[in-house]
Amino acid sequence: MSLRHAKDAALAVVDPVPGFWEQQWQTPHDTTLAMAGLKGRPVLINFWATWCPPCVDELPLLDSFYKEQGSRGVQVLGLAIDRKEAVVPFLKKLPLSFPVAMAGLSGADLGRALGNITGGLPFSVLVASDGSIAQRKMGRVTESDLAAWVAVK
């Protein structure tokens, strides 16, 4: 393998699951969020719902994490396994700095493909910059979880 091909292979970003980077989600404000736009940098994906108390409890912590780490290249994406009619007023009461998209049932399918075999919420996955799954957590994330995860690039 030539040096150029070795360098290109080292920079390749894998799909955590087939078709991962091709997915697109509608936001609560009727815009499209393309996963391809998140490719190449670490992204913490949090599956949540307005009716899930532990989900709601962890959102301020995730928002603080995003505010602290976003400028360092760590992204956060909230995928709501919920109805838009519930999410829009919820986000007016608890605005979030990180992007939120409406995932619905297809989001639950993605969660299962990423390792959430029980379908419970909240569920968080850290996808490293190379596209590999660096961390998974079923249940509420803690400050110590996020502190350990931030070292992943």
The answer to whether 90 touches 53, Cβ cutoff 8 Å, is no
Written out in words, the top-level CATH class of the domain with range 14-149 is: alpha beta
Q: Cα dist. 149→11, 12, 21, 61, 88 in Å? A: 21, 21, 21, 14, 29
Predicted TM-score (pTM) of this structure: 0.89
Q: Are strands 43-48 and 75-80 parallel, antiparallel or unpaired?
A: parallel
Q: What's the pLDDT score for residue 105?
A: 81
The residue count of the chain comes to 153
Kindly give the confidence (pLDDT) of every residue in the chain, 153 residues in length, as a single tens digit, with 9 standing for 90 and above: 333 334 444 446 778 888 999 999 999 999 999 999 999 999 999 999 999 999 999 999 999 999 999 999 999 999 999 999 999 999 999 999 999 999 988 889 999 999 999 999 999 999 999 999 999 999 999 999 999 998 876
Q: What's the pLDDT score for residue 153?
A: 63
Structure tokens at 74: 């760590």
Buried b vs exposed e over 35-50: b needs ≥16 C-beta within 10 Å?
A: beebeebbbbbbbbbb
The answer to whether 110 touches 23, Cβ cutoff 8 Å, is yes
Q: What's the pLDDT score for residue 94?
A: 98
Q: Where are the domains of the chain?
A: 14-149
119: left (phi over 0), alpha (psi -120 to 50) or beta: left
